[in-house]
Chain A
């Protein structure tokens, strides 16, 4: 079933016909061309496809396009502040918080969700918040470092 949907993507209004059963992940990547969001497991276990839906981080592989009418969606493409990288992106770069980089968009979105709520997280807080984001390169130590450094940068 196709339906006309309107939603905000990274602050811009999108209005289009969409198949209601289509996944948000596929709508973003294959139709809109916003390929920053990645598919890892496809079953909500790995967090690579994390986007903000109405202000909250969710797995875009488990959201149907039919649900989107009137929604607000922010993807990794919307994380930058103007031309500037977001502080979380800067510290992931600086600290080597990415190896192959496939989990990185999801890690960044979830880190942003954490720091929005908790500007001064402990290592345990970070591990808890990122427990739904898998890094197959197992680069967790540097990811945690990057989130801690981003927190410090954002507190300045």
Chain B
């Protein structure tokens, strides 16, 4: 395996200092979080940054907290493994934990961060559909101030986001959700583990306790468009309805129409589209049943 070329390496202690480093040193710099995308790009894809700014010495960028208004904030440097095993997230949003658990191996998840997963903007990023289904917002800082962007608007294309070079994604906040919320993330990929998704589907909706009617429906597709996308016509088809197997099938077919997949080494576009239908249907039905208890159960109820 190729080795990395030398570059300048900075470890700022504050966000302002990090942002200023990018301004002062100009183009050709890269931020480093967990390194599980960046170091591979250095080694495998010939990326030659002039300098690298490691964000891990900036205090307060990692960790999960519940806010007084019921929202939950994930620091950008929170690892995938921490989201996978967080008692708060596994209890409240098991499908978000599940989406983090789908990334690489435990070794990778001990390094890979939620902020890196967003900022690298791979169309198949596993946590993006779940976070968009939860209507999450990204907080972005620079030397000149802060701004917030809904994650749905954050991605602009493969590897492209709204972030400018000197801006830093600092945290992701999930607004308070309804107590009736249920959800599911299904990653469908060539191997059970250690591979990218053909298709990722996250669904979240409020399930009426007595009448079983669904509202607040969000259906988000990963790996089947240049960015994660909401299947809004599919969402509308479930709004106010009682979910049945026949309706889930119909909604899956609508979501499949809304996907814009490409053919690549993993799959043809046609297969991806068909799998969007099948996985959306199963995700909707699984969400109503409740979270899978083990990875084996998770695998089995996908088929």
Residues on A lying within 8 angstroms of B by beta carbon are: 1, 3, 19-23, 26, 39, 41-45, 47, 50, 53, 56-59, 61-64, 66-67, 69, 110, 113, 124, 128-129, 131-133
30 A-B pairs in the complex with CB atoms less than 8 angstroms apart? A20-B7, A21-B4, A21-B52, A22-B4, A23-B4, A44-B36, A47-B107, A53-B110, A56-B81, A56-B110, A57-B106, A58-B111, A59-B107, A59-B108, A61-B1, A61-B39, A62-B36, A62-B111, A63-B111, A64-B4, A64-B35, A66-B11, A110-B107, A124-B295, A124-B296, A128-B295, A129-B106, A131-B106, A131-B194, A132-B194
- The 8 Å CB contact of B8, one of A1, A43, A56, A63, is A1
Asked whether, in the complex, the Cβ of B9 is within 8 Å of the Cβ of A3, the reply is yes
User: In terms of DSSP, what is the predominant structure of the interface of chain A?
Assistant: mixed
Asked whether, in the complex, the Cβ of B104 is within 8 Å of the Cβ of A44, the reply is yes
Asked whether, in the complex, the Cβ of A23 is within 8 Å of the Cβ of B294, the reply is no
Please indicate the chain B residues that have their CB under 8 angstroms from the CB of A58 in the complex: 107, 110-111
Asked whether, in the complex, the Cβ of B108 is within 8 Å of the Cβ of A39, the reply is no
Interface string of B37-49 (1 = CB under 8 A from A): 0011011100000
Interface residues of B in 62-83 (CB under 8 A from A): 81
A61 to B39, CA, bound (A): 9
Interface string of B258-278 (1 = CB under 8 A from A): 000000000000000000000
User: Smallest CB-CB separation from A106: which chain B residue?
Assistant: B107
Interface string of B76-112 (1 = CB under 8 A from A): 0000010000000000000000000000111110110
B5 at the binding interface (Cβ < 8 Å): yes
A132 and B36 contact, Cβ closer than 8 Å, known pairs A42-B43, A43-B43, A66-B9: no
A62 and B105 contact, Cβ closer than 8 Å, known pairs A21-B6, A67-B54: no
Residues on B lying within 8 angstroms of A by beta carbon are: 1-9, 11, 32, 35-36, 39-40, 42-44, 52, 54, 56, 81, 104-108, 110-111, 192-194, 294-296
Asked whether, in the complex, the Cβ of B194 is within 8 Å of the Cβ of A45, the reply is yes
Please indicate the chain B residues that have their CB under 8 angstroms from the CB of A19 in the complex: 6
B256 to chain A, nearest CB (A): 30
Please indicate the chain A residues that have their CB under 8 angstroms from the CB of B5 in the complex: 21
A66 to B5, CA, bound (A): 14
Asked whether, in the complex, the Cβ of B56 is within 8 Å of the Cβ of A67, the reply is yes
A44 and B108 contact, Cβ closer than 8 Å, known pairs A21-B4, A26-B3: yes
User: Smallest CB-CB separation from A134: which chain B residue?
Assistant: B194
A62-B40, A67-B35 given; 8 more Cβ-contact pairs under 8 Å: A20-B7, A21-B42, A23-B3, A43-B44, A45-B194, A63-B39, A128-B295, A131-B194
